[in-house]
Structure 1
Amino acid sequence: MTLLSFVVALLLLQCAAAYPELFNNLAYRSPSLRFPTDSVLAHDVGALARRHTKRDGSTARYEGGLYFPYGIASGDPLADSAILWTHPVVAGGNTSLPVCLQYQTAKDDKITQVVDTGLACTTSDVDYSLKVETKNLKAKTRYYYRFSTVGKNSTSSPVGSFKTMPRPDDATVDKLTLAVFSCSNLPYGFFNAYRKASARTNEVDYFTHVGDWIYEGKAVKGALEERQFEPRIEIAHLDEYRQRHAAYRGKDENLRAMLQNYAALTVWDDHEVADNTYKDGSADSNNTKAGYVNGIPFSERKKNAVKAYYEWMPIRQVDTTDKLRIYRQFQYGKLADINMADTRQEDRDITDIYYNTAYVKSISNDSSRHMMSNKQRDWLSQKITSSSATWKVLAQQVIFNNPLTPGSNGTFDENYDAWSGYKATQRHFMQTISKVNNTIILSGDSHAAWAFDTVPVETMSAYDPKTGAGSIAVEFAGTAVSSTSSYGKNLTTSQYNARAQQLVRKNANLQFAEGQKRGYFVLTLQPHEARADYWGVVDNNDRNSDEVLVATMTVEKDQNRLKRPLNGGNNSTGGAIQGLEGYTG
């Protein structure tokens, strides 16, 4: 143990011994284990406890009524533990006292066979968020949990459920299923994708969101009141980010159901902070006076967003010296390693912020450009190349391949806000991936569905789109839960399909494209193959809309390319498939 680790551990033990109920609430802590007393991202639990300690040494507590309008959630499961979250609301107004809850984890949904329990408290300092780690669990087991008041007026939250992961060395695991989402924009339609997926409790193991969990913008003209942003302004202050998270939870029952039924594996994109973020700013904010939003410079805005995200999401602390790190790994036995990467917030060089596209294009190939820190790059490369799991999953935000898409002037170009704008980093990972078999890249951000054979630019001329020969991995990219299609607004079905056909004809390694339907995909990993089922909502303006299976893409073990014939040789129900549309260059 290093001296730093020893000091940190000692500080945490002292706090835990003196103030256990407050210390048990992870929301008070910094997202980084190495920065337990960060003045912006963490709270002095000792000072909080002293503020609420009575003369007899006991802790003052609120004992009135509570309710749970924001639901409950679990996340970041390991083989022996998981994070549990809730956000109680005081009946009839606010309180200056700590609100304390008992959490119970059980083998049954009646919470009679309790295997772990504890007490934790929360206060307005963390917006009444409450996060605990439930421990000493068995691997590969479904558990149920709830929160309950400990005062005179007994109230319980809904009962949630989650599965623990297998041990990393478990070679008997034969299946993992993830429901994969991105880009949930509250005013732009109902979260039907969450509703349909949350009903798949017998099919899906975990809920995976690769970013744009919330959006930071101002109120949307014409949106239904029940779907409108709160607050109505573009957000920048800590309480504004908290209110935005609360609006999402409070206004959408499908989001609450999803979080209640599954353990979440989440990572942020850009809109959890601002549009098209990079390390020094975003599309409309930076650290110059002219770039302040609501009087807040970008660096402070980013910390506010990160703190609110950490308070409201069931994610763990990470053991790192990087204060804003979120990247981490989950090992699902010997079947799969799931690497959650951050390509947006952590040390990203300037991106395309709309008015500088030509400049970013001109520097996109510079060897000095970074999409992430060297530390994350090396960590991720090491996790991929050293993995002994069958499948190496890279869950991240933006399109990894380099599709040419049409611009407003009729010409085609790459998206320089995605990996195409950071070609040195892209080349590094192309080289990394080429050293191993069975890498699967998961992407979001683009508001459209895609499936790629992943091919380095340098060897694209030798790639065969008919067979997939020359591909080194596959990329499955999902459409948005609700955000507007990147193909355009209010097009006809024929126009959407024509755009998809145009894309697959222009891009040899793009095997499937669809841009009309909002939805998600279900990734099923087995020892012999991986399969992505793309589900699309028929009408996202209808809160009860049905869904359709748009396409199924499969990759066989050690083949590193999509299986032919694509989609079983059938046309997709929307969009376009390469083998059926042809490639014209």
Structure 2
Amino acid sequence: MKFLAVLASLTVFALGADRASTSVVPGIEDNYLLSNIAYRSPSLTIGTSGLAHDIDAIVRREAADLLRRRDFVKRASGTGVDNPTSVGTNGTYTAALAFPYGIASGDPLDDSVILWTHPEPADGKAQDLPICLKWQVSSNAKKPTWTKTDIIQQGNVCTTKDVDWAVKVEAKKLRARTTYAYRFLSSDKPAGNASISPVGNFKTMPTPTDSNVASLDLAVFSCSNLPVGSFASYARAYDKASSLDYVLHVGDYIYESGARASAPPGRQMEPDHEIVTLDDYRTRYKAYHRIDAGLRSLRASNAWLPVWDDHEVADQAYKAGTADGNDTFPVRGVRFTERKKNAVKAYFENMPIRQVDTSDTLRIWRQFKVGTLADLNMIDTRQYDRDVTDLYYNTAYIESISNDTARSLMGGKQENWLYDKLAASRSTWKVSKEFATNPVPIVQNDLNYDAWDGYTANRGRFYDAIRKTDNVIILAGDSHAAWVFDTEDPYHEQIYDPVTGKGAIAVEFAGTAVSSSSSYGSLSKAGYADRAQKLTQANKNLQFAEGEHRGYFTLHITPKATTAKYWAINDNNNGASPETLLATFEVKKGANKLTRPINGGRNSTAGALQSVEWDQSSWDGKTFTRKAKSA
């Protein structure tokens, strides 16, 4: 591949046919920079967005750099100055490459998927040359031989310093509901001599009208804080990779905070300060991907469907600021608007996600249809258009406006989109990532105004929407504890019966953190158990609470039922730690509540269930009389 020819081709593409005569070298059809979505994500708009790149400007710069390099080599010839062996005559980096940040796939559709990687020189030395790769997709998912028979799609792609050498491509013309293997390799050498990435797998979605999807298996994660503990949750899910269809990360994939004195060896934050600049955010993602092998393995083994929460930008982020800054009060000299742009750009460069709406620079909310079995609604409850939240110093003010009908957790545009999707859905299950919608106070008015308690009218509108349909499953993270609810609607006359579950309008599964510290605080084992017990006793629709362990949960969805399994990491400081099954929960089609008895009538391994002998408990509409379950 002649990079100068590529550049000329891209110049023609960018400037239009009427300026084609400006080409230095005849153009070719393959547009290797334009195929890299990292230059365009999340928007096609260059102008005021500051998120997309001016491809024409990059083309001109690289062409000029190549000519300067050639002139230097020509003038240096015979003077004893070496021609660097890492620079090919085509102007790209030609020495050995490494893939220390792994590979990833994500946002699968029935006929395409996004593939990601981030190459760098194998010798670890910084350089400014473009890097070009070939990507390949094999139909032999288990043991690809990468022969012509195996390879069903492939292409070339280039990357430059403008996107920190990130590579994102869309592999198209794939078969629905099919598992594939994929890899990247240096494109300037035969396969036998090329630098080759690890091999990964992904599965395409069924077609939206496919009514023969027998099951859907998901692993759900949130809140991965690098220096707080290991990411053993990712490693244990990787052990199940062959039985999983997709991985959902519902937010706080990274944290913005600085170094921690208590960080385990080798897991310190990079850079060591609170991140605000584009280079800061890029460095943080690279640290996560380089340091944790479990994360790299799971990103490679299954297609991901991620969405952000607040810490991908900063703590308590909303549309106009964070807990520690806004456009009036910058953090480390960077105003909020610029900081948010930096964070969003780095997220799109490092996560295998699509451009959802190229005219909307912040839209990440999107829907995936898994045949007619399930809709997966990935909702943004933080960055898009969220009204001011509890910033720690304004709690009383947020409480005073929490019932304002105009307040929104999602923004009006996203709200209407979600309600329309729920109303129009013909799928059996409607799965939506949200905040946990039910408050869980131990004492009256002990509320969380950073969640739905600060947006009660919005919660009421959401309840109105889900009450009109069946089989809604709500997924949540953020709280660093595990919860399972029958969703009770306090705004409606229907009375919820905690014994039978009658009156519930949906079921909520909220997962604990991958590593972030428990929201219960630092307690003894007995203290964690006691707090979980008090929470379930104080909240009759809270069917399970657990705050001691870090972990994740899995979902097995069939046309007849959805089953959730909650997994706990035994030792959060050990990346090789085994896991323990805490409890299992079932929701039958049409029930809109958890199947009784909860967890099959067994006690959970940790935490607290409502812990009742259901046939010996009573509910008279006012008083819930429990019969404690014996051990």
Q: Does 1:27 align with 2:38?
A: yes
TM-score (norm 2): 0.87
1:506 and 1:584 in contact (8 A); partners too: no
Is 1:355 aligned to residue 393 of structure 2?
Answer: yes
Matched, 1:84 2:115: yes
Residues 337-396 of structure 1: CA deviation (Å, up to 9, x unaligned): 000000011111111111111211111111111112211001111111101100001023
Query: Cα distance 1:474–1:190, how it changes in 2: closer, same or farther (>3 A)?
Result: same
CA distance in 2, matches of 1:494, 1:110: 54
Q: Is the 8 A contact 1:72 1:260 kept in 2?
A: yes
Tell me the amino acid that sits aligned with residue 401 of structure 1.
Answer: N
Per-residue deviation at 1:224? 1.6
Q: Match of 2:491, SS?
A: helix
**Correspondence for 1:66 among 80, 94, 97:** 97
- Equivalent-residue separation in structure 2 for 1:402 and 1:305 (angstroms): 30
Partner SS state of residue 77, structure 1: coil
- 8 Å contact from structure 2 (residues 217, 243) kept in 1: yes
- Which amino acid is the alignment partner of residue 344 of structure 2? V
Structure 2 letter corresponding to 1:413: D
The TM-score normalised by the length of structure 1 is 0.93
* Contact kept? 2:91, 2:130, Cα under 8 Å: yes
Identify which range, 311-320 or 164-173, moves more after superposition.
311-320
Q: Which residue is 1:519 aligned to? A: 551
Q: Superposition pairs for residues 307-456 of structure 1, below 5 Å?
A: 307-319=345-357, 321-396=359-434, 398-405=435-442, 413-456=446-489
What pairs with 1:133-282 in structure 2 (closer than 5 Å)?
133-152=170-189, 154-282=194-322
CA distance in 1, matches of 2:581, 2:340: 38
Question: C-alpha separation between the residues in 1 aligned to 2:555 and 2:16?
Answer: 41
Aligned partner of 2:130 in structure 1 is 98
Q: Which runs of 4+ in 1 moved over 6 A?
A: 10-19
**Aligned pair in 2 of structure 1 residues 49, 584: CA closer, same or farther (>3 Å)?**
farther
Quickly say closer, same or farther: Cα 1:417–1:11, change in 2 above 3 A. Answer: farther
CA distance in 2, matches of 1:121, 1:538: 43
CA distance in 1, matches of 2:16, 2:97: 31
Contact 1:111-1:144 at 8 Å conserved across structures = no
CA shift in 2, pair 1:85/1:20, >3 Å:
same
- SS state at 1:451 partner: strand
Q: Which residue of 2 aligns with 1:556?
A: 588
Q: Which amino acid aligns with 2:230?
A: F
* Secondary structure of the structure 1 residue equivalent to 2:527: helix
Whether the 8 Å CA contact 1:191–1:482 is kept in 2: the answer is yes
Count of residues in Structure 1 that have an aligned counterpart in Structure 2: 566
How far residue 111 of structure 1 moved from its aligned partner, in angstroms, is 2.6
- 1:500-523 Cα shifts (integer Å, max 9, x gaps): 010011111111100001000001
2:81 matches 1:50: no
Report if the CA contact (8 A) 1:466-1:579 is conserved.
no
**C-alpha deviation, 1:580, in angstroms:** 2.7
Amino acid at match of 1:125: D
- Superposed CA deviations along residues 107-157 of structure 1, whole A, max 9, x for unmatched, are 123333001000000011101100000010000100000000022451100
Q: Is the 8 A contact 1:236 1:294 kept in 2?
A: yes
| Separation of aligned partners in 2, 1:388 and 1:353 | 40
Change (3 A) 1:189 1:86: same
| Whole-Å separation in 2 of the counterparts to 1:488 and 1:135 | 47
Give CA-to-partner distance per residue, 1:251-278, whole Å, 9 cap, x none: 0000000101000000000000000111
- Any conservation in 2 of the 1:129–1:311 contact (CA below 8 Å)? yes
Structure 2 unaligned spans of 5+: 1-12, 21-26, 71-88, 618-623, 627-631
Give me the whole-angstrom Cα distance separating, in 2, the residues matched to 1:572 and 1:206.
26
Query: Partners of 2:285 and 2:48 in 1: how far apart?
Result: 23
Cα offset for 1:488? 0.7
Q: Return the offset for 1:460.
A: 7.5
What is the CA–CA distance in structure 1 between the aligned matches of 2:534 and 2:264, rounded to whole Å?
34
On the 8 A contact 1:210/1:268 being kept in 2, the answer is yes
Identity among equivalent positions (%) equals 53
Aligned residues: CA RMSD: 2.0
Distance, in Å, in 1 between the alignment partners of 2:146 and 2:280 is: 36
